[in-house]
Chains A and B, each alone.
Chain A
Amino acid sequence: MRKPDLSIEFCGVRFPNPFVLAAAPPTDSAEMIARGFDAGWGGAVVKTLGLEHVEVNLVSPMMAGLAYEDKNLIGLENIDLISNRHLPEVLQEVSELKKRYQEQVLIVSMMAGTEDEWKEITRRVQEAGADMIECSFSCPHGMPERGMGSAVGQDAALTYERAKWVVEAASVPVLIKLTPNVTDIRPIAQKVKEAGAAGITCINTLKGLLGFDLDTFAPIPDVGGKSTAGGYSGPAIKPIALRFVSDVAKDVGIPVAGVGGVVTWRDAAEFLLAGAGIVQVCTAVMRYGYDIVEELIEGLGYYLEEKGLGTPADLVGRGLPNVVSHEALSRDYKVVASIDGDLCVGCGACIVACRDGGHQAIEFPEDAAGTGNERIPGVDEEKCIGCGFCRTVCPVTGCILMKERESEA
């Protein structure tokens, strides 16, 4: 395996690479995390821990996938809870892991209720040797009903108060993991910053209801005929995650651990461009295994090399200046659809899309009989407003381009 130097500093901690296992089933034991580190992950967030008295009563099944065509997992819904393992046992494992893996960064995710509880768990996690702490203010199911999880992250005042408790007790950098189930994350992220946390992890899962069984009318996942809204993750949520990451990085100015739908190095690179300093992955690891980190590392390495960039840090936030308000977008830049007749297979999907989803600007030619070009659609440039939808339906890569119009001035 190729080993480019992808090391990066995040919140004052050196990561061997920006790829980190998110707090989730893949990080629920030392044995699992060790296999992840051996595969090449730069860090791991141990699955969220609670104090001994917190009852974690799991249901089953607790996961279900959203399928689309040939993909059976474009999104994953879970109604899992925080780790149901005994705290001292896991903390013992954390200590042992730290002895075995000095280079990799071990972050421990945790959740608590009162000030005393937050401070107690902070101290105990630190004593075990965690390099960083991540506080879950964001789990959307189960915990909010008990005043924890996203019940905290949806309230700026609660967020500030609890973040402050942890920061006061902590000697290692503190990350606050926020929920996307809010109208605007920025005021809440601002409070995290004011409380003195080192950074923000976002996003946790989106609260969703995956579907219903049409025979039994039970929601999915079906827990004995009933279900509940849960946390939705996977490739389907990537655009939403990128939006939150860029909002926080641009408007709040605090380091961000980006998470939500990362599968390939390209996804990871986009998170870096949106301002994430490290990238966490969960669903793709659950689906494909720890080994996918090899493709993340090599792919990002080759990309940086090709672009003549030094390290991942050179990408962080690099796209943010280009994320602007709608008002700030140019009205002078105009494009028009252009169909490459040599590449076109003649399906006419663009015609349907433009007719029923656009501006009726694309048609098969009327005067092409016998030329062999009967099924190569033409664009009426008067009618085309350059929306770009035709390009999204074309089955041939590069066949439809949106070309800049000649300036009329």
Chain B
Amino acid sequence: MSDRTAGSGALVEFDRTYAPHEAVLEASRCLMCEDPPCNRGCPAGVDARRFIRKIRFGNFLGASRLVREANLLVGVCGRLCPQEILCMEHCTRAELDTPIDIAGLQRFAGDVELGTLAPLPEVADERSQRVAVLGSGPGGLAAAVELRKAGYQVDVLERSGTPGGLLTRGVPPFRLERSFAESELEYAKRLGANVLPGRGDEDPARLLRSGYDAVLVAVGLWKPYTIGLPGEDLEGVHVAGDILAVVADGGRPDLGRRVVVIGGGNVAIDAATTALRLGAERVDLCCLESHDEMPAFRSEIETAQAEGVEFHTRTIPVAITGEGGKVVGYEGIGIRWKEPGLLVPSNAERIPGTEFRLGADAVIEAIGQGVADRYEGVETDERGLVAAEPETMATSRAGVFACGDVTSGGATVVQAVAEGKRAAEGIDRYLRSLGDSASGGGDGR
């Protein structure tokens, strides 16, 4: 399915989707199980068997609309979801030969109406209550759509100038064509959500005081962690988020010939494969975890391997070396875990004699991101993650809800979508419990 051409310098590559007859053929492999196990795997509650059945019997529009109803980000999830550990992991067909390519079929379903204006779902009677959604990433957008369907007035406040959050600024364009995120953003707008870029810096408490009836915090994780290595201040040391954001905005930063990436998650993989596309001849990825322990999706790891990224697993960074203020190398050492299963640096025991050096023109740190802000009256955990009640996504402050990575600490897009939908339900229940009298109505009071 994939038409990747690493190293060609192309920053835009897309997974090819099925032609209609190919989609029908793949769908016809579906055993159409009773009590289908695949359906239990989707956090967003997409009815996989039903949309596959629709494709199989040629009802492509029906498939598109069914999936979009459950998951606004139908095209995005078809590309980013780790389906191999979700719906596809449970596919009965795997017992016979290979699982149904549910991801590919979802891409197909999502693309049926790509470039056209997908019809909007029915919106309940307009309600006067106003909800502010902080952040326009997957969780915020999913919630905004559900809230609009329920009739609420929704403003999506986005800190950056480019809405879409992770979808437009975090995932490299060769993994997700920006038009998908944009069309899905457009869908929320057409439903009546006001997306307001450049306005995400506001505190929920102040928003409540200024006339919103509820606030959803869906800001994601944007504060990059750094390791504190010797040499971290050298020219040529970057955090992954910065590089990815520049690339997402169309920039092509020159990272040099040799690039070392530190980290074992999806962002590290994205940084490594992006570096290849920016012209690096050799990319080394160094991480604490073994191959099997890496938090990145298997499919992404395999892609990076296939593209030639060199992996140095179960290693810990020692120093970044420089000359004349610029990066020239990276030093690391092999580790073993003191206590099995605890994959944190403090649990790593260095193995003498396993020191290694890599030449480097750039070092990219991709060891995770944290919460950028603190909010008045909203409880957080020791990592600064917003504590939310899992059923309703309500925070400790009445009227303030939270969803997505800012509560989970970093999960999948589909998980954020699922939480966004739950948060919308929670907000709906909360606002109904207040009654319409609580609202000043219209735009501002």
Asked if chains A and B come from one complex, the reply is yes
Binding site for B on A (CB under 8 A): 69-70, 345-349, 351-352, 364, 375, 395-396
**What's the A-B contact tally at a CB cutoff of 8 Å?**
38
A347 and B31 within 8 A (CB): yes
B96 at the interface (CB under 8 A from A): yes
Residues of the A chain whose Cβ atoms lie less than 8 Å from the Cβ of B95 = 345-346
Q: Which 3 A-B pairs have the closest CB atoms?
A: A348-B34, A345-B95, A347-B31
A348 and B33 within 8 A (CB): yes
Please, which residue of chain B has its CB at the minimum distance from the CB of A343? B95
Known: A69-B24, A349-B32. 15 other contacts (CB 8 A): A69-B28, A70-B25, A345-B92, A345-B95, A345-B96, A346-B33, A346-B92, A347-B31, A347-B34, A349-B34, A352-B32, A352-B34, A395-B31, A395-B96, A396-B96
Ordered by A's residue number, 21 sampled pairs between the chains whose C-beta atoms are within 8 Å are A69-B24, A69-B25, A70-B25, A345-B31, A345-B95, A346-B33, A346-B92, A347-B31, A347-B32, A347-B34, A347-B92, A347-B93, A348-B35, A349-B31, A349-B33, A349-B34, A351-B34, A352-B32, A352-B34, A364-B35, A375-B92
- Which residues in window 1-40 of B have CB below 8 A to A? 24-25, 28, 31-35, 37
Please, which residue of chain A has its CB at the minimum distance from the CB of B35? A348
A70 and B32 within 8 A (CB): no
Taking chain A's interface residues, is the majority helix, strand, or loop, or is none over half, making it mixed? Answer: loop
Residues of the B chain whose Cβ atoms lie less than 8 Å from the Cβ of A352 = 32, 34
Chain B 74-96 interface 0/1 with A at a Cβ cutoff of 8 Å (1 = within): 00000000000000000011011
CA of A117 to CA of B388, assembled, Å: 94
Nearest CB of B to A38, in Å? 36
Residues of the B chain whose Cβ atoms lie less than 8 Å from the Cβ of A345 = 31, 92-93, 95-96
Please, which residue of chain B has its CB at the minimum distance from the CB of A344? B95
CA of A364 to CA of B31, assembled, Å: 16
Please, which residue of chain B has its CB at the minimum distance from the CB of A69? B28
Please, which residue of chain A has its CB at the minimum distance from the CB of B30? A347
CA of A375 to CA of B91, assembled, Å: 13
CA of A376 to CA of B92, assembled, Å: 12
- Which residues in window 27-56 of B have CB below 8 A to A? 28, 31-35, 37
CA of A351 to CA of B28, assembled, Å: 18
Of A70, A347, A375, A395, the most chain B CB neighbours within 10 A belong to: A347
Residues of the A chain whose Cβ atoms lie less than 8 Å from the Cβ of B31 = 345, 347, 349, 395
CA of A349 to CA of B24, assembled, Å: 19
CA of A352 to CA of B32, assembled, Å: 9
A347 and B25 within 8 A (CB): no
Residues of the A chain whose Cβ atoms lie less than 8 Å from the Cβ of B33 = 346-349
CA of A351 to CA of B92, assembled, Å: 15
- Which residues in window 157-185 of B have CB below 8 A to A? none
Please, which residue of chain B has its CB at the minimum distance from the CB of A363? B34
Residues of the B chain whose Cβ atoms lie less than 8 Å from the Cβ of A70 = 25, 28
Nearest CB of B to A291, in Å? 26
Chain B 88-113 interface 0/1 with A at a Cβ cutoff of 8 Å (1 = within): 00001101100000000000000000
CA of A352 to CA of B31, assembled, Å: 11
Residues of the A chain whose Cβ atoms lie less than 8 Å from the Cβ of B25 = 69-70
CA of A395 to CA of B93, assembled, Å: 9
Of A348, A364, A396, the most chain B CB neighbours within 10 A belong to: A348
Residues of the A chain whose Cβ atoms lie less than 8 Å from the Cβ of B32 = 347, 349, 352
CA of A409 to CA of B35, assembled, Å: 40
CA of A69 to CA of B26, assembled, Å: 9
Nearest CB of B to A341, in Å? 13
CA of A352 to CA of B35, assembled, Å: 10
Residues of the B chain whose Cβ atoms lie less than 8 Å from the Cβ of A348 = 33-35
Please, which residue of chain B has its CB at the minimum distance from the CB of A346? B92
Residues of the B chain whose Cβ atoms lie less than 8 Å from the Cβ of A375 = 35, 37, 92
Nearest CB of B to A34, in Å? 37
Residues of the A chain whose Cβ atoms lie less than 8 Å from the Cβ of B35 = 348, 364, 375
Residues of the B chain whose Cβ atoms lie less than 8 Å from the Cβ of A69 = 24-25, 28
CA of A351 to CA of B36, assembled, Å: 12
Residues of the B chain whose Cβ atoms lie less than 8 Å from the Cβ of A346 = 33, 37, 92, 95
B24 and A364 within 8 A (CB): no
Nearest CB of B to A58, in Å? 30
Please, which residue of chain B has its CB at the minimum distance from the CB of A396? B96
Contacts A69-B24, A69-B28, A70-B28; A364 near B34 (Cβ below 8 A): yes
